[in-house]
Structure 1
Amino acid sequence: MRSGLTFAAVVFLLVECARGQSGLEVYSADPFVLLKVKESLQDRKSPFLPAYERLLRDAEKALDVTPPSVVSKDRVPQGGSKHDYMSLSRYWWPDPSKPNGLPYIRKDGETNPETADYRDHDKYVVMASSVSTLGLAYFFSGREEFAKHAARLVRTWYLDSATAMSPHLEYSQSIPGRSTGRGTGILDGRHIALVLDAVGMIRGSQSWTDKDQSGILYWCNAYVRWLTESDKGKDEADATNNHGTWYDAHVTSVALFVGRKDMALQVVQAASEKRIFAQISPDGGQPEETARTRPWNYCVFNLEAFARLATQAQRLNVDLWKAKGADGRSLRQAVDYLLPFALEKKEWPFKDIDGLRPEMIVPVLLWATASSGEPVYLQAARSIGGSRLREIRPVLLTGVVIP
């Protein structure tokens, strides 16, 4: 299977090198890889230059992002305050058979436009995406203005008493007439992993202070307690689909950031049985996801969570990519299952209201390449991604060289 492109041509790094020795505190990417990519960028012929140049363009745009805050909203959750994050469950709609539309009813895969009225989610995504972009751009370029604005965004969302978000998601994904929030709403907060990695990247800058670091650690300690001890957190931990996988990646990212390696290790050590073998069938299918109205989206979405969790697990010397059940079920089997459909060699057999979008799987293919060195994944990524593949962010995060 390794014929064609050699291992050295496929992956930039030596994965067998010791991990965690870089001093760079990031957990959803390999710090050793990031340092090797940064070293490569000193050469103007670096294979990572197209992705780096695009990153800088994105960072320049992010400098113009006005710091968002959860307090900038008209709605206040029942029993809460403006500091509490709130959102509406996207697939729940007014019941047309009821005069007031209550309680709402579920339409899987159909987004209720009312979600746009609950602005915390969109603001959170903008904040996290901008901080991630700025942090990575600062790490590679050393340009202080990127660190400065990333720090400003983080302070506004998490640290400043007038604008900070409360360290919980009690009011996330509410359903009018049914609940003010649900455990499934914890999924909204998964982007914190990107924020915390960016904090690790700007920590050595002039713009991020010891007070900032103490503040974000205090916030995250409270948050991870809520994630693991609240009723909603416990409900989400028991989820048997992508929600459960993302919950594990969510908790692990925060636990590692605050130094709770014991908590993180407990999560990743259980993941083989609890997540991989429970969710992936022997042929690589994901029955919980293919039962949805948007099966392709959710199959890939779940693999994105697995890829993040596997990267975090590597920091704890747990290799989830190599976990394999007695009947063959594994992460790689799940990726292999989707490949012929992504490459249009087989027809997607499930009803899908979105249709099949092959480009969605490209980042997963790069993570699979980085973890295994198998040329088949890079070849598939090149076939799907085309000439733009060299420009995408996961190239920088995985250290995969695009020939």
Structure 2
Amino acid sequence: MKPRLSTLSLCLFFTLIANYGYTQERPKYLLVDETILMTAKKAIQPAVKNKITSLIKSADSVIDKGPYSVTFQKTKMAPTNDPHDYVSQAPYWWADPSKPDGKPYIRKDGKRNPEIYLLHDRSQLGDMSSTVKKLALAYYYSNNEKYALRAETLLRVWFVNPETRMNPNLNFGQYVPGVNEGRGIGIIETVGLINIPDAIALLQGSKIDPTVVNDVKKWFASYTDWLLNSENGKSEQSQTNNHGTNYDLQVADFALFTGNTNLAKHIINDITIPRINVQFTPEGAQPLELARTKSWDYTNMNLDAWAKIAMLSKRLGVDLWNKEGLQGKGIKGAVKWLIPYASGEKAWTTEQIGPYEYGNMCFIMRKSSEQYKDLDFSGVFKKYPQGIALE
């Protein structure tokens, strides 16, 4: 009988690889399609050139913004009193009017408490990751070093410089006043960091300092270690809904970025694939997301994460796009179920208390149409034309 490694042993094993096993090889694209990049860069069609011009103008609009840091605009310190620790407040929790001090706060699903905007770490992280990606794309299409050098500055400030770097943990993300000082659920706020590995791949060939790239990889290796071994990280991995999916997406993406393919394979094969039977019905619905007060947004947000994990899986030789669980459950069934709602053929009848968000849905349909030639996406693309893809 072969001995079985305990969960703790596996975590320690992958931690060692995460800390010491990242590679120094040429950066690889993870969620960006290099074929689309090369085709668009060589294109001579005016429509493509105009799209690239628009992309570069978008980068020009943010090139002078920032830099960004969790140490900037700090309005609330973590219990550690360390400004480098990320802090955010749970968005759907409100003061209890029956309590003199409002604590403990009570949950109102889907209703954002404006108090969360008094803290700025989340917006600083989001602005940093999106700006770096825009600058990197502008560099790729223009070969203008000013975009690469500005991206390098933003990376240095957020991940490297001792005075401004973020500590690689989310111990205090989405805290609930009167309940806790931070929750594993807050980890979903760092999903925007998946922009960084692809941004660095886009910047290859530029004059960006290689030591910055290496230091950023070290940061991601440390954060991955924390995701695997901290109480908050373990809690988020155990979540059965979109939180678990987005946890898997981050760990797999960061593992591939740091050259830890063993960890990426472990997450996808042993953690993500078993989620199929939990999250999808045989018809393709997502009951855990449909139960939310913003059911459209959460259904699409979760499936968007599945599509991205499938893209990462393909780089590992794993066909998650066509993986099926019990009774044919899987991504394909979920996409098929969503198509008539996306096209407008069927009305969305479950609760959606806010405006409908369509960005995730459009991404899902575009990427799924490349995989499922037997599904009819014509109604969706008639309503939401695909346009010209640049990445």
Return the alpha-carbon distance in structure 2 between the equivalents of residues 233 and 26 of structure 1: 26
What's the CA shift for 1:46? 6.8
* 1:384 aligned partner: 383
Q: Quickly say closer, same or farther: Cα 1:123–1:330, change in 2 above 3 A.
A: same
* 2:306 aligned partner: 306
* 1:354 aligned partner: 354
Tell me the amino acid that sits aligned with residue 26 of structure 1.
Y
Return the alpha-carbon distance in structure 2 between the equivalents of residues 29 and 383 of structure 1: 25
Tell me the amino acid that sits aligned with residue 297 of structure 1.
D
Matches within 5 A, 1:267-306: 267-271=267-271, 273-306=273-306
What's the CA shift for 1:244? 0.6
SS of match in other structure, 1:322: coil
Deviates more, 1:229-238 or 1:264-273: 264-273
Contact map agreement 2:304 2:360 (CA 8 A) in 1: no
Tell me the amino acid that sits aligned with residue 152 of structure 2.
A
Which string of whole-angstrom CA distances, capped at 9 and with x for unpartnered residues, describes residues 121-162 of structure 1? 011111100001111221222121111111111111111111
Contact map agreement 1:29 1:312 (CA 8 A) in 2: no
Contact map agreement 2:128 2:154 (CA 8 A) in 1: yes
Which of structures 1 and 2 has the larger relative contact order (alpha carbons within 8 angstroms, sep 6+)?
Answer: 1
* 2:16 aligned partner: none
Q: Quickly say closer, same or farther: Cα 1:380–1:124, change in 2 above 3 A.
A: farther
Which string of whole-angstrom CA distances, capped at 9 and with x for unpartnered residues, describes residues 256-296 of structure 1? 11111100010111355322232011000000000000000
Contact map agreement 1:359 1:385 (CA 8 A) in 2: no
Task: Indicate whether 1:182 and 2:183 are aligned.
Answer: yes
Q: Quickly say closer, same or farther: Cα 1:275–1:239, change in 2 above 3 A.
A: same
Tell me the amino acid that sits aligned with residue 396 of structure 1.
L
Return the alpha-carbon distance in structure 2 between the equivalents of residues 123 and 225 of structure 1: 23
* 1:366 aligned partner: 366
Return the alpha-carbon distance in structure 1 between the equivalents of residues 272 and 191 of structure 2: 20
TM-score by length of 1: 0.86
Return the alpha-carbon distance in structure 1 between the equivalents of residues 121 and 343 of structure 2: 37
* 2:390 aligned partner: 396
1:29 to 28, 32, 35: 32
Contact map agreement 1:77 1:86 (CA 8 A) in 2: yes
* 1:250 aligned partner: 250
Tell me the amino acid that sits aligned with residue 134 of structure 2.
T
Tell me the amino acid that sits aligned with residue 170 of structure 1.
N
SS of match in other structure, 2:152: helix
Which string of whole-angstrom CA distances, capped at 9 and with x for unpartnered residues, describes residues 285-343 of structure 1? 00000000000000000011111111111110011101122412111211111111122
* 1:115 aligned partner: 116
- Give the gaps of 5 or more residues in structure 1: 1-21, 398-403
Q: Quickly say closer, same or farther: Cα 1:50–1:242, change in 2 above 3 A.
A: farther
SS of match in other structure, 2:32: coil
Contact map agreement 2:156 2:212 (CA 8 A) in 1: yes
TM-score by length of 2: 0.89
Deviates more, 1:262-271 or 1:219-228: 262-271
What's the CA shift for 1:41? 2.9
Between the aligned residues of both structures, percent identity stands at 33
* 2:8 aligned partner: none
Tell me the amino acid that sits aligned with residue 29 of structure 2.
V
* 1:214 aligned partner: 214
* 2:52 aligned partner: 52
Deviates more, 1:219-228 or 1:320-329: 320-329
Q: What is the aligned-residue RMSD (CA, Å)?
A: 1.9
Tell me the amino acid that sits aligned with residue 305 of structure 1.
A
Matches within 5 A, 1:169-208: 169-206=170-207, 208=208
Return the alpha-carbon distance in structure 1 between the equivalents of residues 379 and 250 of structure 2: 29
What's the CA shift for 1:202? 1.3
Deviates more, 1:39-48 or 1:187-196: 39-48
* 2:164 aligned partner: 163
Return the alpha-carbon distance in structure 1 between the equivalents of residues 131 and 99 of structure 2: 42
Which string of whole-angstrom CA distances, capped at 9 and with x for unpartnered residues, describes residues 209-243 of structure 1? 12112211221111110010111101111110000
Contact map agreement 2:75 2:119 (CA 8 A) in 1: no
Contact map agreement 1:48 1:390 (CA 8 A) in 2: no
SS of match in other structure, 1:173: strand
